[in-house]
Every structure is written in C-alpha cells, then in structure tokens.
Amino acid sequence: MQIQSTPQVIGPSQRRWSLDDYHQMIAAGILSRNERVELIHGYILEMVPQEPPHSSATSSFGNEFVLTFAGKAWIRQQLPLMIAPDSEPEPDIAVVRIDPRRYRDRHPTPDDVYFLIEVADSTLKYDSDRKAQLYAQAQIPEYWIIDVKQRQVLIMRNPQHNGYRERQVVALTDAISPIAFPEILIQLSDFWE
C-alpha cells in the first residue's frame, strides 16, 4: 500500500507591526501623515472613505460634545488612540481626560478615555465586531456606535476580554447619559434634526 501525501499549500504571509514600527514608518515617510490608515491588531488598514452622512454625524456630535463636556473632558475627532502593543485606531470621537501636557508627547491611551464613538454608515459590522473587541480588550469603559442608516445608537458597556457584556440599542427619540458623566443627558434627536 502506497501512502500519498498531500502537498502543503503555502500562501502569502502577513506581517504584523508594533506601535513602534508604525510610528517609525510615519516618521520615515513610508506612511504619509495624510494617509487614512490605522493600526489594528498589528495590521495597517485603510479606512473607508467618508460619505456625507458619516461626516455630518461626526461633526454634529463632535461640535456639540465640545460644548457639552467643556471643562469636564476633551473631545478628539478622528485622532489616534494608542492601544499597546499593536493598535492605534482613530475613533470618530474620543471623550478623554483633560491633560494638555500629557498629549504633547503622546496620544491618549485607554486609561485616558471616558468613552469612544464610531460613526457607521458602511462599517457597522466591522465597528460592532472587530473594533468593539479591540476596545473591550483595552478596557475602554464605554463604546457607542452611531448607526446613521438605522438612526440609532448601539451602546456597549462593561468590557470583558472577548467583548462588551452589555449592549443596548437606543432609538433616535431616546436620551443617553454616559457612565462617566451621569449628570449629562444627551438627547439624540438633537443631532439628526
């Protein structure tokens, strides 16, 4: 009896990058500061181009949050967040601790974050799966996904290693209070009218 082995199929390998690698590529000009990319679990991923509904929702929430959280938190729009050892996403909105000296030398880290928001028009699955897992593993206490097509917000809280334990869909007519700021009530309809 002759035993025939199946030839091993070898495919292309993927290289994973660290935060240091990523920053060195930016400093060396390999990645332009104007490129719309982010580092997620060691992979450099191109971000999806923004359509008007995405841009409008991001601007509406961001501009209103600057006023709402004045003196309580800083609002960063589409700026890097360092998640060691191998991720640097650029959430649409990050509500972070006020610490101007700290952010001169580095981007905020999960310890600086009150909550994050991603706006989804074509990226809902990615934002609710891969990004949610990344943010939960980093112990981001609260994560919102603004679903512009369904006109609702998915609120995720109580991060665990494999994702968020609590998920709640909030309708356009509802109001939300972030965990870190229970005294602030955000009326969602104000952002879509």
Give pLDDT tens digits for 23-32: 999 999 999 8
Tracing tokens 């729009």 back to the chain, one arrives at 77
pTM of the model: 0.90
Asked whether the predicted pLDDT for residue 5 surpasses 80, the reply is no
Task: Give the pLDDT of residue 43.
Answer: 94
Task: Give the pLDDT of residue 2.
Answer: 61
Task: Give the pLDDT of residue 9.
Answer: 66
190 pLDDT band, cuts 50/70/90, is confident
Q: Where are the domains of the chain?
A: 51-191
Asked whether the predicted pLDDT for residue 1 surpasses 80, the reply is no
Task: Give the pLDDT of residue 193.
Answer: 60
CB-based contacts of 106-110 (< 8 A; 24+ apart in sequence): 106/82, 107/79, 107/80, 107/81, 107/82, 108/76, 108/81, 108/82, 109/81, 109/82, 109/83, 109/84, 110/81, 110/83, 110/138, 110/139, 110/140
Asked whether the predicted pLDDT for residue 3 surpasses 70, the reply is no
- CATH of span 51-191: 3.90.1570.10
pLDDT digits (tens, 9 = 90+) for 97-130: 998 788 888 999 999 999 999 999 999 999 999 9
Mean pLDDT of the chain: 92
Task: Give the pLDDT of residue 41.
Answer: 95
58 pLDDT band, cuts 50/70/90, is very high
What are the structure tokens assigned to 60, written together?
């509406």
Task: Give the pLDDT of residue 36.
Answer: 92
